[in-house]
Amino acid sequence: MINTKNYTSFKSYNQYLNTNKTNSKKTDFEKNIVPLIGSSVGVLAGYLATKNINLKQNHRIIDELIHLLAMAGGANVGSVAVSSIGKKPDVIKKKIREGLFQTTNATIPMLMVSAANAVCNKTIGKSKPLVRVIASLAAMAGGAMTATKITNKIKPETEAKRKYTIKDSVANIDDLVATFSIGFEEQADKLKLDTRLMPFIYAYCGMRAGAKE
């Protein structure tokens, strides 16, 4: 007697496609949710570690930089750490390199904008806000290019060079906020955009590092 069990267990083409779509969605969900949890925990750790930092009264900008840098670094460390569990060494290396890019892309432009602001304060003071804004935008663009070049320097030659994308620009929203603050200090103080936006931005950027395969 012919065993028809194996034949009757075959799936139709549509069932096969639907199964693959379901598995793909599940994989995408797991790929992003685990890194997001890690990056969120990292942001929270960085926030709590530096929320009460207070150097000197005239160093408020430095205090804020340390606070933001701690959150950016914590997001990427947390995301890469939890998403690397059970992964192959080559995948872990890719995650670490992406984490380095996300961290430098969040920090180098920020530091360059702060430096541009400091130079403007010493040279033209708080006058000529348009000049100050242009200088800060140039510093932000230079910082993003520097972060991309650093990442490509440490990439193996077998891997494609990293290009700065629209998604990468999310990490530089804080720099745009800082630029806005430089030109329009009174309005920026009222909005307090850095405080409200940065934890979410850094959590997203950290998630991208952990999701790298």
Mean pLDDT lowest for which of 56-65, 77-86, 138-147, 195-204?
56-65
For the stretch 20-28, contacts whose Cβ atoms lie closer than 8 Å and that sit 24 or more positions apart, written own/partner, are none
Sequence-distant (≥ 6) Cβ neighbours of residue 97 within 8 angstroms = 151, 154, 155, 212
**Residue 102 · residue 171 · CB < 8 Å:** yes
pTM for the complete prediction?
0.72
Give the pLDDT band of residue 80 (cuts 50, 70, 90).
very high
Average pLDDT over residues 32-52: 91
Mean pLDDT lowest for which of 41-50, 67-76, 158-167, 184-193?
184-193
